[in-house]
Structures are given as C-alpha cells and as structure tokens.
Amino acid sequence: MHYFFLEKPALTDGTQVTLAEEDLNHAFRVLRLKAGDQIVVADGLGRARLGRVVQSSSREISVMLYEQLSSAESPLQITLFQSLLKGDKMDLVIRQAVELGVHHIVPIVSARSIPRLDKKQDRKRVLRWQSIVRSASAQCRRSFLAEVEPLCDFTSVLSRLKDIKTLVPWEEEQSIKLSEIFEQPCPSDGAVFLFVGPEGGFANDEIEALRKSGAETVTLGPRIMRSETAVAAAIVLIQAGWGDLSGKGEYR
C-alpha cells in the first residue's frame, strides 16, 4: 500500500485532505492513483491513517481519511550523533538509522572527519538528508519523521549529555560490551544518545571529553567495523536490548 506524509493538517477520522504538491506528480503519473484506491497518510508526528482517494487529477489528489493505524515507532527515543563521513556514506547511515527507529539525527564534525563543508554546502546536504528521512520513513512505514539537525561541532554538543544515557562504540574499549549495558534498566524516559565516530574513529581527547560529560564507551566485539556498519550494529543491539526488537512488547 502506498504511503504518504502530510505534516500540516490534523489527520482525523472523516477528514478529507489533499496530498502534498511534492508528492503529486509521483502519485498521479507514476503510481496512477485513481478514485477508490486505498493509501496511508501519516502526519510525521507518530500518527497514520488509512485513506481512500476520492478525486485524482494532475492538479490535485484528495483523500478521505478513516481508520487510524497502530504505531511502528520504538518506545526508545534514540538520538544518533554521527561524525561526518565522506562520499555517500552519510546517506546510507541516515537511511539505515531511520529504518531502525532512530528518533533524532545530529551530524557532527569531529577531529578526524574528512569532509569540511561550508554553510552553503551544509544546507544542501541537510535538505538531502531530510529527503532521505522522508523516503526511508515511508518505505519502512514509520509515521514519525526524524529530525536532522544542521552540522554541529563536536564540542558544542557535549553539554546535551547531562543525565542522558550516552553510549559510544570505541575500538579501543576492551572491557565493557554494549550487550552488557542492557543488564541495566532501560532509561525511564526512553532517551538514549549514541555517538559514532568517523572512518578514523574518535581522537583520544574526544573520548576523554565524552567520558567527562557522562558517556560510556563500549565495544561491539572483536572485529573493527566501518563507521556505517558500527552504526547499524549498535542501533540493532540497543533496540534488541531495550526497544522494539527485544521481543518483549507488542508490535507489528
């Protein structure tokens, strides 16, 4: 079933809405939606409803909403602080993070980040990443659109760590396994911060700064992973330990 986002109106039973202009060409000319077709419309805030197309043209597609769908959102609110990666690796990381249920994404520049973007490039990349969030959310049937912040400097985000469970996969950590962290109770508010370094990893002074700010360094195992692999592995483990991949709750 085709899936669309419409962030502005309240999506309530019996409401007729119009698909966003950015979706119109794809919906009409590619998907060939016609009156009577059933689709899903989500508000980007965690709610989604079934809808039936009542009118379809190249100028407007109107949909009557009815049944509210159950949420595909994780009980955790994972914020990913991802050091900037080169090439299209950031695109992959953001797509995978969204599919695995990450709630918030903060791209950061750390000491070993290779790309150095100016503000104009930064704005373009963020717009691209937001587009990836939208398409990935529709693909995996999430009704919440994760926010992607503008690029931040590493030191500027350390103040956010206070009283938030913060985990840092680090290749030099030997004693604390990420899987052992889940023997502790899940944070009561479900908030978890995850810091992942660039291709060369975090510098030692950055690790020390993270620890002083309350973060815990952990190992993902005996193998050294690429950054984009480590992100996916860490999120899966967190969701399996505390979230909706644990098998402890009801979800579909």
248 pLDDT band, cuts 50/70/90, is low
**Residue 251 is assigned to a structural domain of this protein:** no
Instruction: Say what the pLDDT of residue 116 is.
Output: 63
Length of the chain: 252
Edge to edge, what strands does the sheet with 61-68 contain? 3-5, 38-42, 48-56, 61-68, 16-18
**Residue 42 is assigned to a structural domain of this protein:** yes
Exposure letters 202-233 (e unless 16+ CB within 10 A, then b)? beeebbebbeeeebbbbbbeeeebebbebbbb
Question: What are residue 107's phi and psi, to 5 degrees?
Answer: -70, 135
**Residue 184 is assigned to a structural domain of this protein:** yes
Find the distance separating the first CA and the last CA of the chain, reported in whole Å: 16
Instruction: Check which CATH number belongs to the domain holding 62 and give it.
Output: 2.40.240.20
Q: Percentage of the chain surpassing pLDDT 90?
A: 79
**Residue at which a domain ends, from 68, 94, 121:** 68
Q: Over the chain, what is the mean pLDDT?
A: 92
Instruction: Say what the pLDDT of residue 250 is.
Output: 46
pLDDT at 93 over 70: yes
- Give the tokens for residue 190: 């479900």
Q: What residues are paired with 219 via a beta bridge? A: 177
This prediction's pTM: 0.90
Q: Are 220 and 169 a contacting pair, CB within 8 Å? A: yes
What is the distance between the alpha carbons of residues 245 and 236, in angstroms, rounded to a whole number? 8
Q: Do both 93 and 179 map to the same domain?
A: yes
Instruction: Say what the pLDDT of residue 123 is.
Output: 85
**Residue 94 is assigned to a structural domain of this protein:** yes
Instruction: Check which CATH number belongs to the domain holding 235 and give it.
Output: 3.40.1280.10
Number of domains in the chain: 2
* 57-73 average pLDDT score: 93
pLDDT at 29 over 60: yes
Q: Which structural domain, as residue segments, surrounds residue 8?
A: 3-68
Condensed to tens digits (0 to 9), the pLDDT of residues 147-175 reads: 999 999 999 999 999 999 999 999 999 88
What is the distance between the alpha carbons of residues 218 and 173, in angstroms, rounded to a whole number? 6
**Residue 249 is assigned to a structural domain of this protein:** no
- Give the tokens for residue 102: 């990450």
Helices vs strands, H then E, count in the chain? 6, 12
**Residue 173 is assigned to a structural domain of this protein:** yes
**Residue 246 is assigned to a structural domain of this protein:** no
> 226 vs 90, 102, 137, 203, 231, CA distance in Å?
12, 19, 24, 16, 9
Q: Do both 155 and 131 map to the same domain?
A: yes
pLDDT at 87 over 90: no
**Residue at which a domain ends, from 68, 100, 116:** 68
Q: Do both 60 and 151 map to the same domain?
A: no
| Nearest residue to 92 (alpha-carbon basis) of 212, 183, 226 | 226
246 pLDDT band, cuts 50/70/90, is confident
Q: What residues are paired with 35 via a beta bridge? A: none
Q: Do both 87 and 155 map to the same domain?
A: yes
What is the distance between the alpha carbons of residues 43 and 47, in angstroms, rounded to a whole number? 6
Q: H helices of the chain, where?
A: 21-25, 89-99, 119-139, 178-181, 204-212, 227-241
Q: Do both 35 and 128 map to the same domain?
A: no
**Residue 124 is assigned to a structural domain of this protein:** yes
* 14-34 average pLDDT score: 93
pLDDT at 251 over 50: no
Q: Do both 197 and 113 map to the same domain?
A: yes
Condensed to tens digits (0 to 9), the pLDDT of residues 214-227 reads: 999 999 999 999 99
Condensed to tens digits (0 to 9), the pLDDT of residues 184-204 reads: 999 989 999 999 999 889 999
Q: Do both 45 and 91 map to the same domain?
A: no
Q: Do both 167 and 199 map to the same domain?
A: yes
* 83-104 average pLDDT score: 95
Q: Do both 207 and 120 map to the same domain?
A: yes
Q: Do both 95 and 60 map to the same domain?
A: no
**Residue at which a domain ends, from 17, 41, 68:** 68
Q: Do both 95 and 52 map to the same domain?
A: no
Q: Do both 123 and 190 map to the same domain?
A: yes
